[in-house]
Amino acid sequence: MGEDFILQPIFSRLRPPTLPMYTTAMNRRKAIQSVLLATAAAPSAHAASKSLEIFLARWDKAKLFTLQVADAMPAGAYDFKPKPEMRSYGQLIQHLATNNAFYISRFKAGDIPDSLLPSEKFDKESVKRCVTESFDFCAAALKGITEQDLDKQYPGRPNTPPQTGWDWVLHAFIHTAHHRGYAEVYLREKGITPPRYSV
């Protein structure tokens, strides 16, 4: 009897809780899990916003550097082509600008100002004006979008699959760097030292 008396409190502590206690514990766990999930999701949303903020800062630097590259070629050499089958310098820089407007216009249902559509004006002042307007158009569009906009799918060119907003943003940045690099080769061919990289 003495032994049973000693072990009885221990066995009572090992018994599973009654149903109300168990239900309360489950609810508590679910509540804690919900809070943890919400907390985990918050940094993710903030990180995406920070990424776009960083991109826009780089976009502003890319604008200044691209204008420096555009300005480095004398106005009289804007029709220069390293090879006959290549674009002229003016055509190359204009292409950079108008295509970027196309990429970012995906966020605006493809709506592009007439001034940013390809034209036959390849003189230095017209091209530099086009570059400025293109970068400003893209920056304004990107400042007005949400995280959901970046994750959505948007149609591309005919016979190409849709792509996310982030894809189109990166297309614009990479396209700029690609053709700006070409432009520096044109400058070298004319004996001109390109501006120092500053993006």
| Tens digit of each residue's pLDDT (9 = 90 or more) over 44-90 | 444 457 888 999 999 999 999 999 999 999 999 999 999 999 999 99
Angle 161-168-124 from CA coordinates, rounded to 5°: 120
User: What is the number of other CB atoms lying within 10 angstroms of the CB of residue 87?
Assistant: 17
Please report how the helices 89-104 and 165-189 are oriented relative to each other, as an axis angle in degrees rounded to 10.
170
DSSP secondary structure of 13-48: HHSPPPHHHHHHHHHHHHHHHHHHHHHHHHHHHHHH
Determine the pLDDT at residue 193: 97
Determine the pLDDT at residue 45: 44
Determine the pLDDT at residue 22: 46
CATH code assigned to 48-189 = 1.20.120.450
Please state the domain extents for the chain.
48-189
Backbone angles phi, psi at 161, to 5 degrees: -70, 155
Please give the model's pTM, rounded to 2 decimal places. 0.73
Q: Give the C-alpha separation, 140 to 104, whole Å.
A: 10
Determine the pLDDT at residue 115: 85
Residues of the chain with pLDDT under 70: 1-48
Backbone angles phi, psi at 193, to 5 degrees: -80, 120
